[in-house]
A and B are shown apart, each in its own frame.
Chain A
Amino acid sequence: MVDEKILTRYQEIPGYTGTIDEYVDHGGYQALVQALKHMQPAEVIDAVKRSGLRGRGGAGFPCGVKWSFIPKDSTKPKYLVVNGDESEPGTFKDRMLIEEEPHQILEGVILASYAIGCHQAFLYCRGEFVRGAEVLRRALDEAYARGYVGRNILGSGFDLDVVLHRGAGAYICGEETGLLESLEGKRGQPRPKPPFPAISGLYACPTVVNNVETLSNIPHILLRGAEWYTSIGPPKSTGPRLFSVSGHVVRPGNFELPMSVTLRQLIFEHAGGIPNGRRLKAVIPGGSSAPVLTEQHLDVTMDFDSLAAAGSMGGSGAVIVMDDTTCMVRVGEIVSRFYHHESCGQCTQCREGTAWLHKVLHRIEHGQGRKEDLDLLLDMCDNMKGKTICVLSDAAAMPIESYLKHFREEFERHVRERACPFGGD
């Protein structure tokens, strides 16, 4: 296992504060200098394709392939939009990258823009990230002042304007077309696809939307080569990944590791195990939208495909650990409340489904559940999946189905005893 830190290497340097001078002193912007001098845009796309880098926002789509969908012959402007709207419950790694490594993100933005032929890029920063937006603003000012952004970057003839845009608090704006609507000054309601953003995105122009962590990988891939990158982690889930581990663990935090790490290693070695002598009960391995796993799954490796094969997903890399004091009905109530609040309301299945999931889970947790409610929940989940414009509806249904699958007896007990056996909180 490779222990070298890549995405978090700068912040491990004593006294590092993330200014442009420090970043440059430690090798920052070297990838940009090299690429602008020696690489054609198509070569940059090719290197990223060969690296196998998959999107770190949730879907795990190959980044270089996404870039290659941008039509070369389009006469319309092309746009790069950075998804810094991190809001998948349990995830806090993009906020760290924004606050600690802003220039690494910017270097990735400039390289991606060069690759796809974009001359105006937008950094969509989650509204609640007040400090993050200040850090990005300062980094952007520094990059403009040094000629890494702006006209004729480093004498290459390549022009790029980067605009910092603050969101205003809506989970659905993390969905890429919801984000584009929001960036156009509208309600963040996802668009039907196709057309995909690569053909018709921001202002109906070809657009790439990339996550903050995804773009942070780009400078390293170009500087050290696709072959080096593919040597990290399993063949189909290459490169380092930031795992946000939280909940009932001794050392919560962000851990940068290859995706060959197992769930067991992540929880018990890196995050220090379960505190207070408690036992592990359940773990959500990829943000609250991911189906839950249990002790029997602990040896799964944390790559996209293995987690899918185990019945869950890698999602945003957020690992939420729950010990044996946790009530899974209460977890369902909290998770469904979240999706109900965040449903944009366009699609009936999602708008109504999330509301009813929450209502039924709330009544089971509070001692008013009925025997039929368990199958009612499963029936609702079935009607919510694969039927809507975006996957928020699926993301609300999948976890609830998984709680029922693994902990059905606990739901039954709530109904039978007309109370939460854990005493609620």
Chain B
Amino acid sequence: MISEATQKRCAELVKRYPEKRSALIPILHEVQAEVGHLSPEAVEWVAGYFGLSPADVMSVASFYDMLSLEPVGKHLIYVCQNLTCTLLGAERLIRHLESKLGVRTGETTPDGKITLKRMECLASCGTAPSIQVDGVYHHQVTPEKLDALLDELRRD
């Protein structure tokens, strides 16, 4: 079920470390990038790759915010909800996004396009309020900037 290209990258990742298990999180990133999320089948594949139980892999995957055991949208919006961003209006941004997307934080739009998530400090407090969209930072975000961004994501 996992493509040859990903398997090749996994083999390269394993070679970097003195102990194979160190490649577990990097390989979970790779598999998630291919499948979209860590489905039961994906977890099973990774478990088999490392000779671990699926429960062991799940226990690791469930510990980290960026690894998702649930399906996520094509695009992922992280809104920082920590102190500086909240001081500068993060809750207003979250309300705006929830109303525009028609979902609550933690949910995905019915068309499967956008997942909205609250995140803790993204290390971008100097340009708060900050969000990350598909890994890219957006700084000093306003409702107007969000509207433009959502238009762009919806067109894609």
Contacts and interface: CB of A to CB of B under 8 A. Distances in A.
Interface of A: 77, 86-92, 94-95, 120, 126-131, 163, 165-171, 182-188, 203, 244-248, 252-254, 284, 288, 318, 320, 322, 326, 330-331, 334-335, 337-338, 341-342, 344, 425
Contacts of A168: 25, 28-29, 64-67
B64 A95 contact: no
A185 B64 CA distance: 11
Contacts, number: 145
B87 interface: yes
B87 A326 contact: yes
Interface stretch (B3-11, B15-23, B97-105, B108-116): B15-23
B121 A89 contact: yes
A169 B121 contact: no
A248 B83 CA distance: 11
Contact of A247 (B29, B88, B123): B88
B142 interface: no
A95 B124 CA distance: 8
A425 B21 contact: no
B123 A188 contact: no
A184 B120 contact: no
B25 A182 contact: yes
Nearest to B66: A169
B136 A186 contact: no
B51 interface: no
Nearest to A187: B63
B128 interface: yes
Interface residues of B, number: 45
Nearest to A95: B123
B88 A338 contact: no
A92 B64 contact: no
A338 B25 contact: no
A165 B122 CA distance: 18
Given A89-B84, A127-B64, A425 B91 contact: yes
B125 A244 contact: yes
Contact of B82 (A129, A165, A167, A288): A288
Contacts of A89: 82-84, 120-121, 125
Given A77-B18, A95-B124, A244-B126, A338 B82 contact: yes
B35 to A, nearest CB: 15
Nearest to A129: B123
Contact of A90 (B19, B25, B125, B132): B125
A95 B89 CA distance: 23
B22 A184 contact: yes
B123 A128 contact: yes
B39 interface: no
A344 B63 CA distance: 8
B128 A246 contact: yes
Contacts of A126: 123
Which of B66, B83, B87, B122 neighbours the largest number of chain A CB atoms within 10 Å of its CB?
B83
Contacts of A284: 83
Contacts of A330: 86
B65 A170 contact: yes
Which of B88, B89, B135 neighbours the largest number of chain A CB atoms within 10 Å of its CB?
B135
| 5 cross-chain pairs, A with B, having the tightest CB-CB distances, nearest first | A169-B65, A185-B24, A130-B135, A168-B64, A246-B125
Contact of A87 (B64, B91, B92, B120): B120
